[in-house]
Amino acid sequence: MTVYLDNSATTRPSEPVRKKVLQAMESGWFNPSALYKPAMEIQKEMEGVRERLLEAAGAGGQTVLFTSGGTEADNLALLGFAKGKRNPGRVLISSVEHPAVSACREPLEALGFRVAEIPAGASGTVDLEKLERMMDGQVDLIAVMQVNNESGAVEPLERIAQMRSRLCPQARLHVDGVQGFLRVPVCFNRLGLDSYALSAHKIHGLKGTGALILRKGSRIRPLLYGGGQEGNLRSGTENTFGILALGEAVRTWDGAAADRMARLRTRLAERLRALIPETVFNSPAEGCAPHILNAAFPPVRSQTMLLALEGEGVYVSAGSACASRKQKISPVLRAMGVRQEIADCSLRFSLCPDNTEAEIDYAAEKTAALYGTLKKYTRR
Residues of 26-57 as b/e, b for ≥16 C-beta within 10 angstroms? Answer: eebebebeeeeeebeebbebbeebbebbbebb
In the annotation, is 322 catalytic? Answer: yes
In the sheet that 317-318 helps form, which strands lie side by side, from edge to edge?
A: 280-281, 292-296, 346-350, 317-318
Interhelix angle for 357-374 vs 257-275, to 10°? 30
| Strand duo 317-318 + 346-350: pairing | antiparallel
Report the distance separating Cα 195 and Cα 213, nearest Å: 5
Contact 187, 58 (CB under 8 A): yes
Query: For 64, phi and psi rounded to 5 degrees?
Result: -120, 130
Contact 196, 59 (CB under 8 A): yes
The closest of 287, 292, 340 to 316, measured between CA atoms, is: 292
The closest of 155, 243, 193, 160 to 77, measured between CA atoms, is: 193
Report the distance separating Cα 69 and Cα 210, nearest Å: 4
Report the distance separating Cα 89 and Cα 138, nearest Å: 5
Which amino acid, one-letter code, is at 161?
A
Residue in 168, 187, 288, 322 annotated catalytic: 322
In the 8-state DSSP scheme, what is residue 183?
Answer: T
Report the distance separating Cα 373 and Cα 363, nearest Å: 16
Bridge partner residues of 156 (DSSP): none
Report the distance separating Cα 380 and Cα 366, nearest Å: 23
Report the distance separating Cα 276 and Cα 217, nearest Å: 53
Contact 54, 62 (CB under 8 A): yes
Residues recognised as catalytic: 322
